[in-house]
Amino acid sequence: MSDIRTIGIVGCGTMGTGIAIVCARAGFITRVFDVRPEPLEGARKQIAAFLRKSVERGKLAAGQDEAILARLHTSTRIEDFADCDLVIEAVFEDLKVKHAIFSQLNAICPEHTIFASNTSTISITEIAGGSGRDDRFVGMHFCLPAQLMKLVEMSPGINTSEETFERAWKATIALGQHPVRTRDTPGFILNYFLVPWHNDVINLVDQGVATPADIDLAVKTALGYPLGPLELLDMVGMDTQKLLCEALHGVTNEPRAACPPLVRRMIGSGRLGRKTGRGFHTYDSKKIFGA
């Protein structure tokens, strides 16, 4: 049984919003921090819409959506994380930014609080090194979309204590997720495969081999994937894909991990994916996936 009761989430982008749903839905008091109120307001609306749809589909009982929302608290004050037992960072892939966040949290949170990063490419040991508590630090990489996918890649850093890892592992199970243990290596399991593969798909589009719609249809029909690779990339966002490429390529020098030129052109044209309403596909709604 987990001893963790209150979970803080730093960042309310696509991943942070999904993780917030997972935590509040599982019964945890959930605090979400962002530096600006507008993203927090947008995330709360998206979460409410997702939960309402869950009730309509019979995934939640009537009234459960309101109970879940009551456990969800948003704030622009990171000081409000002072009562958190676990804090999960879900901001973009920039080591300096992550170090700055955890340095602030270290001065605010009690000794027992575990710090975790949702990073998928940056070394857990490197992030933990700037946290002030590298023995109480663990990688917790949720799969996109977190509110629907159950897998969490859990990675200890070099100095992570076994007690910390065990507490985080139990908390992940209490969230209703399925944890797998990985070494602290670039891309862990999933992005080790996905980032180069997605880049291959992007290059197929750029070369005119097939349309995004036909590529997605081929992969879903023949391979049985629930989402096509370009649908998933639109969910990830071109800006995030660029950061993933730069982080993975920077530590591996794997040629297939290098950011494709088309990604940079799409960023320049504002075609980031679902978040802007247009990426490889076009979207009429910016609702969270599954709502």
Which residues are catalytically annotated? Answer: 120, 141, 153, 191
Tell which residue, 245, 232, 146, has the closest CA to residue 187: 245
Residue 192 corresponds to which tokens in the numbers above?
């080790």
Bridge partners (DSSP) listed for residue 7: 30, 86
Residue 54 corresponds to which tokens in the numbers above?
């869950």
What burial letters (b/e) apply to 233-249, b meaning 16+ CB within 10 Å?
bbbbbbbbbbbbbbbbb
SS3 labels along 228-245:
CHHHHHHHHCHHHHHHHH
- Distance set, CA 168 to CA 58, 164, 275 (Å): 30, 6, 31
Residue 3 corresponds to which tokens in the numbers above?
């001893």
Which class for 36: exposed (0-12), middle (13-18), buried (19 or more C-beta within 10 A)?
exposed
CA angle centred on 240, ends 234 and 241, rounded to 5° = 70
Residue 94 corresponds to which tokens in the numbers above?
């920039």
Contact between 257 and 249 under an 8 Å Cβ cutoff? The reply is yes
| N-to-C CA span, the chain | 31
Q: Torsions phi, psi of 88, nearest 5?
A: -110, 120
